[in-house]
Amino acid sequence: MNKKFLSAVLFGALMVSSTGTFVSCKDYDDDIDRIDTELGDLKSKLDALQTEFNAGKYITNVATTAEGITITLNDGSSYPITNGKDGAPGAPGEAGAAGDKVEINDEGFFIINGKVTEWKAIAKDASTGETIKIKTPTVSEDGCWVFYDEKGEAHPTTIKVAPVTAVQNADKTWTLTVFDAEGKKQEIIVPTAASSLTDLMLITRGNGTNTESMPFDFKIAEYAFEYNQNNNSNAPAMKDWAGQRAIVDNGYIMAGAGQIKLQVNPTSVDAADLNLKLVNSKNGYLSNVDFVTTPYTDMEYFDQPTQTRAANVNGLYNLSIADKYIKKTNPDTEKENYWKQFETSVNNANKAVAFAVTAGGDVRSKYEIRVSKGKIEELNNIYFVSAKDQSKLEMRNGTKNDKTLLPKNAEPSEGAGHSNPDAKMEAGVWYNVYADKAAALYDMHLVFDNDDETLFGIQTKEENGMVAIRLTKTPDNITKAAFLLTIQNIDKEGKYEQAKLWIGETSKITSDVTYDPITHQLSKNNTTDTSKDKNFFQIDLTKMKNALGTEGLALWNTKVQKAEVTYYNAKGEKLSGENSQINEFFVKELKDNLKANTDKSVTVGKAATNMIFAVNNTSAATNNFFEVGKQYTAVITFYDAKENGEKLNSIKVPFTFTLPAITELFAIDPGFVQNNVANCYLYMDDFKAAKKAGAATFKLSRIFSKYDTNGFTVKLNANDKIGSTDKKSSELAKLNSVAATSEADATQAANATVTEDVLAYLTLDGTLGEEKGYDQVLKLTIDGKFDNAWEYPSDAVFNFQVKVMSPIEKGKIVPKEGNVVTIKASDLNGYKFGNNVIIGYTYNTEVSYKVMPDKVVKEGGKYLNAWSRTDIKEVTGETGNKLYFEVDNEGKATPATSTTVDNKSVTVEGGLILKGYQVDHTVKTTIKINVKDHWNRVKSSPVPVEITVGE
């Protein structure tokens, strides 16, 4: 063939656009350069198409068109391959403008553009019965098809090859071929769903079991079909039947029963794109047996918007046998042959043939299926299922035991009519109509009056074996309450029946609205001043009103009379009990506290903007009616009457209660904490809080910057031993909430209720001044119920550590000026070592005190030691060198006294009186000052002393 002729006649120019469409332009002798450029672009675009296939895409359809071939991929995209928009059909003996589609039929013959040829792609070996795959046809040098026989010998034809060809191969792939200007071809192997398969697996294990059931037995019931009007004057003639399936002549309907799960690998392959067949071990395909595949799922699901079809993500499908009609003949040869194909003779006995599932390519399942005759079923009842929530419609004329089942020949209930319906449907919702024995139903058709169709906005769908009905006009837009619906049904034996019922509409306006989940952190109730009570959560009704739509909202505003609230747990179980846990009400304006919201409350209706859910902590937590951390759902149903009203709509509000972190309720001031231990320095105000005789007691509220007093308990740790004491905190101290009275000691224990102003008193065990828990790190815990209602989890506690100490014992005593107290040797004897030369500091060096008695107390004419710092009990001194001096008065400080100077009373502070001895020259020594407090803790400080001679 002349190459230039090939370019001009076969092609024109071929070009692939970036959107996946092959576009061609006419080629003429004077435009070869342009053709070469466009063919180069074609090659790059075909390479891009190849990339799609490499990524796992496959074709679902190959179709010839007036311009060429169109390939459709499994993602829905299509790629037209054309041969020039101005191309004309070829002359006799030449290729036309359209592309060639070469496919293989069920008998194995090649078909070109819909015409069966005499050449086969698959044949059987006459001697062995084995399948032989024959070589794919090729193109001769003069541009004609060449076919091959079983021996591989070529058989040229005069059938011209089109510029673009798509040839189906025996393995179910397609070969796409195009030619360039030099007469060279470019080929792409185009995968299909069948050729993409790697595995087909039958899942014969029952769901939820470990037991394999093999072989799987497909049952096919044989129904003898003969249309029978059943003496019903309203039954249509055969030719007038308006259902989906035409009424066939007398014959047989072979109806499959049961289904098997099929695993398709890879899971990206959609089983709907596979022509699945049953094949025996001799590669014999069952005739008149077709499969229906549906994605397998163990979850219920609602209607969803139309989406791009995609493979089932888990690769599982339900496989069932489609109905097959066989016309009645005499003899019934076709029917007899139909049943014979399921058996084979072995040793003069009929045995069930083992079948595998195949898509026609090289992949097939195990031979684990047999087919046998099953029992016919009888059609009894019809039922309606809401596509919105899968609920069944209840009908007054339903069966005695189940009002959701309508007998196939039912009449309306007594008294039913235009104003008294048998059942009510929700406007705008599709109701699917089913037979209780689906395998026994041949066809079903819905009949109603044309005026009712307009009045109620009736819409129906009768397609793909499904029947559905919905009403599109709302109740206030119709002038009568119900219409008569007739359900015509024919079973697979041809028997006609009809069921009648009056259908009305519910007052329900729209679908339920579910709000976003709410997390409500509980706060304290305040019954005395509700303006301080913020323990509520709320929803904005705008979301619900928007869902109602303009017309629906108008109806809701005029109809709503009552709102009823029901609570459910996460399992969907209704909570039962008194309704005091949450107080629900509506407001016209949202405020931030309960009192203000109560002042703005309104009845349910148009004025309501928000809904308040006020939580009563005590009743809500009682007997774990509600539990913290678990999700609940409030279902609010709105009715058109205060009593016995009909539902208008409902909303769902998921909510979860949480507690404030315990650290939000309790905190120790960081000023008292060192190394994670709160230092508790004793106060005289607490001295007799636990024991009337006095004890090392500390009021814990002194270190807390905040604490909650409603429902909490403070506890001493009873598990961990403390330091070197070999004892636990609960053995070293005790707690009490109420101070001791003058008559009795306080009741003490390892636990105490947290109380206002005190939190709790902590008292060290043991003899005063000898307590083993003194200056030890004691461990404590606070736990309890929030607002004395909600139990905190066992791990939600406030842990803290304290160390009880004397402020004086942890302080120091030093010279008041400089680093040493200087005493002249000449003044040593009788020297009063007093507050003028020393000063005391507590643990806090910013707090100083007078060490020697500075307060005048006189009883019975005798001065007593007393200090302005009340926790000092006694002060003594000890010499650092008895050769230099000693402390008189048995080492005790003298009391403060008073005298009169210029007619004014003057306090003479006490001190230590020294008894001095002679020293030869200036010497240095110390005097130990011992300050004992009321807890019998002593601070001993050696104070440097310098005795000077002659200076």
Q: Are residues 103 and 132 in the same domain?
A: yes
Is residue 70 very low, low, confident or very high in pLDDT (cuts 50, 70, 90)?
Answer: confident
Show which of 785, 805, 825 is a domain's final residue: 805
Partners of 220 in the beta sheet? Answer: 256, 373
- Residues 23-29 have a mean pLDDT of 38
Is residue 4 very low, low, confident or very high in pLDDT (cuts 50, 70, 90)?
Answer: very low
Q: Are residues 295 and 429 in the same domain?
A: no
Query: Chain-wide mean pLDDT for the chain?
Result: 85
Q: Are residues 397 and 358 in the same domain?
A: no
Residue 17 above 70 pLDDT?
no
- Residues 560-566 have a mean pLDDT of 95
Number of domains in the chain: 6
How many degrees, rounded to 5, is the angle at CA 559 between CA 558 and CA 560?
110
**What confidence score (pLDDT) does residue 511 get?**
67
Whether residue 656 is contained in a domain is answered as no
Q: Are residues 308 and 385 in the same domain?
A: no
Kindly report, residue by residue over 789-824, the tens digit of the pLDDT.
Answer: 999 998 899 999 999 999 999 999 999 999 999 999
Residue 315 above 50 pLDDT?
yes
**What confidence score (pLDDT) does residue 173 get?**
79
Is residue 210 very low, low, confident or very high in pLDDT (cuts 50, 70, 90)?
Answer: low
Strands (E), 776-884: 778-786, 790-791, 798-805, 812-815, 821-824, 832-834, 838-841, 848-849, 857-859, 862-864, 872-879
- Residues 388-415 have a mean pLDDT of 95
**What confidence score (pLDDT) does residue 845 get?**
83
Kindly report, residue by residue over 79-117, the tens digit of the pLDDT.
Answer: 676 554 333 333 333 444 456 777 777 777 888 887 888
Residue 778 above 70 pLDDT?
yes
**What confidence score (pLDDT) does residue 31 get?**
45
Whether residue 511 is contained in a domain is answered as no
449 against 144, higher pLDDT: 449
Concatenate the DSSP letters of all residues of 826-853 into one string.
GG-TT-EEETTTEEEE-SSTT-EE--S-
Please compute, for residue 775, the number of CA atoms within 13 A of its CA located in the half-sphere on the CB side: 10
**What confidence score (pLDDT) does residue 11 get?**
35
216's CB contacts (< 8 A; 6+ apart) are 202, 204, 260, 368, 369, 370
Strands 138-139 and 131-133: unpaired
Tokens 């007997």 appear where? 623
Shortest CA distance to 297 belongs to which of 314, 309, 311, 310?
314
State whether residue 691 is helix, strand or coil: coil
Is residue 482 very low, low, confident or very high in pLDDT (cuts 50, 70, 90)?
Answer: very high
Residue 848 above 60 pLDDT?
yes
Residue 704 above 60 pLDDT?
yes
Q: Are residues 292 and 409 in the same domain?
A: no
CB 177, CB 186: distance < 8 Å: yes
CB 877, CB 891: distance < 8 Å: yes
**What confidence score (pLDDT) does residue 508 get?**
78
Whether residue 648 is contained in a domain is answered as no
Is residue 16 very low, low, confident or very high in pLDDT (cuts 50, 70, 90)?
Answer: very low
**What confidence score (pLDDT) does residue 214 get?**
62
Q: What percent of the chain has pLDDT over 90?
A: 57
- For the ranges 67-71, 124-128, 319-323, the maximum mean pLDDT occurs at 319-323
**What confidence score (pLDDT) does residue 206 get?**
54
| 27-31, 461-465, 756-760, 942-946: range with lowest mean pLDDT | 27-31
Rounded to 5 degrees, φ, ψ at 190 are: -100, 120
How many degrees, rounded to 5, is the angle at CA 192 between CA 187 and CA 195?
95
| 43-52, 334-343, 768-777, 839-848: range with lowest mean pLDDT | 43-52
> What is the spatial distance between Cα 353 and Cα 370, in angstroms, rounded to a whole number?
6
Whether residue 42 is contained in a domain is answered as yes
21 against 503, higher pLDDT: 503
| 341-345, 550-554, 912-916: range with lowest mean pLDDT | 341-345
Distances (CA, A) of 310 to 173, 391, 885: 20, 27, 107
CATH of residue 495's domain is 2.60.40
Q: Are residues 401 and 441 in the same domain?
A: yes
- For the ranges 25-29, 209-213, 391-395, the maximum mean pLDDT occurs at 391-395
**What confidence score (pLDDT) does residue 67 get?**
66
Whether residue 921 is contained in a domain is answered as yes
Residue 165 above 90 pLDDT?
no
| 335-349, 768-782, 868-882: range with lowest mean pLDDT | 335-349
Residue 302 above 70 pLDDT?
no
Show which of 314, 342, 374 is a domain's final residue: 374
State whether residue 472 is helix, strand or coil: coil
Q: Are residues 210 and 298 in the same domain?
A: yes
Q: Are residues 9 and 142 in the same domain?
A: yes
Kindly report, residue by residue over 349-372, the tens digit of the pLDDT.
Answer: 778 888 888 887 778 888 888 888
- Residues 852-881 have a mean pLDDT of 96
Is residue 127 very low, low, confident or very high in pLDDT (cuts 50, 70, 90)?
Answer: low
Shortest CA distance to 728 belongs to which of 776, 763, 767?
776
**What confidence score (pLDDT) does residue 305 get?**
37
- Residues 609-638 have a mean pLDDT of 96
State which residues form the domain around 468.
Answer: 381-505
721 against 154, higher pLDDT: 721
Is residue 300 very low, low, confident or very high in pLDDT (cuts 50, 70, 90)?
Answer: very low
> What is the spatial distance between Cα 826 and Cα 914, in angstroms, rounded to a whole number?
12
**What confidence score (pLDDT) does residue 433 get?**
97
CB 916, CB 791: distance < 8 Å: no
> What is the spatial distance between Cα 948 and Cα 919, in angstroms, rounded to a whole number?
9
Whether residue 652 is contained in a domain is answered as no
Show which of 342, 374, 406 is a domain's final residue: 374
- For the ranges 20-29, 177-186, 274-283, 895-904, the maximum mean pLDDT occurs at 895-904
| 181-190, 401-410, 611-620, 714-723: range with lowest mean pLDDT | 181-190
**What confidence score (pLDDT) does residue 619 get?**
95
Residue 256 above 80 pLDDT?
yes
Kindly report, residue by residue over 230-252, the tens digit of the pLDDT.
Answer: 999 999 999 999 999 999 999 99
Residue 403 above 70 pLDDT?
yes
Q: Are residues 799 and 938 in the same domain?
A: no
537's CB contacts (< 8 A; 6+ apart) are 518, 520, 613, 615, 655
782 against 299, higher pLDDT: 782
How many other C-beta atoms are found inside a 10 Å radius of the C-beta of residue 377?
Answer: 19
Torsion of CA 83, 89, 92, 95, to 10 degrees: 10
Q: Are residues 217 and 348 in the same domain?
A: yes
Q: Are residues 10 and 147 in the same domain?
A: yes
- Residues 888-897 have a mean pLDDT of 96
Whether residue 241 is contained in a domain is answered as yes
> What is the spatial distance between Cα 235 and Cα 227, in angstroms, rounded to a whole number?
11
Q: Are residues 757 and 768 in the same domain?
A: yes
Residue 754 above 80 pLDDT?
yes
- Residues 606-627 have a mean pLDDT of 95
pTM of the model: 0.55
CB 641, CB 561: distance < 8 Å: yes
Whether residue 651 is contained in a domain is answered as no
Handedness of CA 854, 859, 863, 864 (dihedral sign): negative
